[in-house]
A and B are shown apart, each in its own frame.
Chain A
């Protein structure tokens, strides 16, 4: 079965960086993309970025594109999301998710368990 297992919670200071991993298994890695979504406490879902499992092509949300980098290690089918210059409002649960597009817009069919990133001053 499809599994996305994320790394554990992290605590960082304002201005620092964090790197969250997402180990994918149970499917052909190169046939799907991985997207990253975050959820601040009590808030809704917010998309950060996407990477192709096929060729590593990335697309980032404009509001965070200068601070985020998503990479992939196809040998271990692991995807990484690094967020730099952390601010207190980056405190959130970060989800990796497998996505696909069978129509005119992509959607997520499997989610990781989430990783809480806490940014303190």
Chain B
């Protein structure tokens, strides 16, 4: 029962820009809780891409950027590359769910 909704897939040609939305509610993103993003290559563990809405850990290219506004957040990938093809998940906290973490439904990025 995910409380964060993402589009199932987005696609783009190499070099293009794609964005992934993450829609929450007034008890999650809208309440001001930080949003984080992970990249998962099939068969591997996820990798932290963005933390606290718009911060990149060291080693993450600046082609990846995050933002948050209202009850939603977004991940943008510019200069799309073939190895960006992966699943992407947003994550935050929802005060109505009685738990610690809530993940998004996940988005498959397809590089055409």
Interface on A for B, CB 8 Å cutoff?
35, 37, 44-47, 49-50, 59-63, 95, 102-109, 111-114
CA A95 to CA B51, docked complex, whole Å: 19
Q: In the complex the two chains form, is A47's CB within 8 Å of B100's CB?
A: yes
The SS class assigned to the B binding surface is loop
- Bound together, the chains give a CA A114 to CA B53 distance in angstroms of 26
Docked-complex contact B46 and A108, CB < 8 angstroms? yes
Number of A-B contacts (CB under 8 A): 77
Q: Closest Cβ of chain A: how far from B60's Cβ, in Å?
A: 12
List B residues at the A interface (Cβ < 8 Å): 1-2, 32-36, 38, 45-48, 51-53, 57, 89, 91-93, 97-106
Complex CA–CA separation, A7 to B30 (angstroms): 38
Known: A104-B34, A106-B93. A45 touches B52 (CB 8 A): no
Cα distance A61–B102 in the bound complex, in angstroms:
10
Residue of A nearest to B99 (CB): A61
A60, B99: Cα distance in complex, Å: 7
Distance between Cα atoms of A105 and B27 in the complex (Å): 12
Q: List 22 A-B contacts (CB under 8 A).
A: A44-B104, A45-B38, A45-B89, A47-B100, A50-B101, A59-B100, A61-B98, A61-B99, A95-B45, A102-B51, A103-B51, A103-B52, A104-B32, A104-B33, A105-B33, A105-B35, A106-B100, A107-B34, A107-B36, A107-B91, A108-B38, A109-B48
How near does chain A come to B42, taking the closest CB pair, in angstroms? 10
Q: How far is the CB of A46 from chain B (nearest CB, A)?
A: 7
Q: Do B1 and A35 have beta carbons less than 8 Å apart?
A: no
Chain B residues with CB under 8 A of A112: 45
Q: Are B101 and A106 in contact (CB under 8 A)?
A: yes
Known: A45-B106, A105-B92, A109-B57. A62 touches B48 (CB 8 A): no
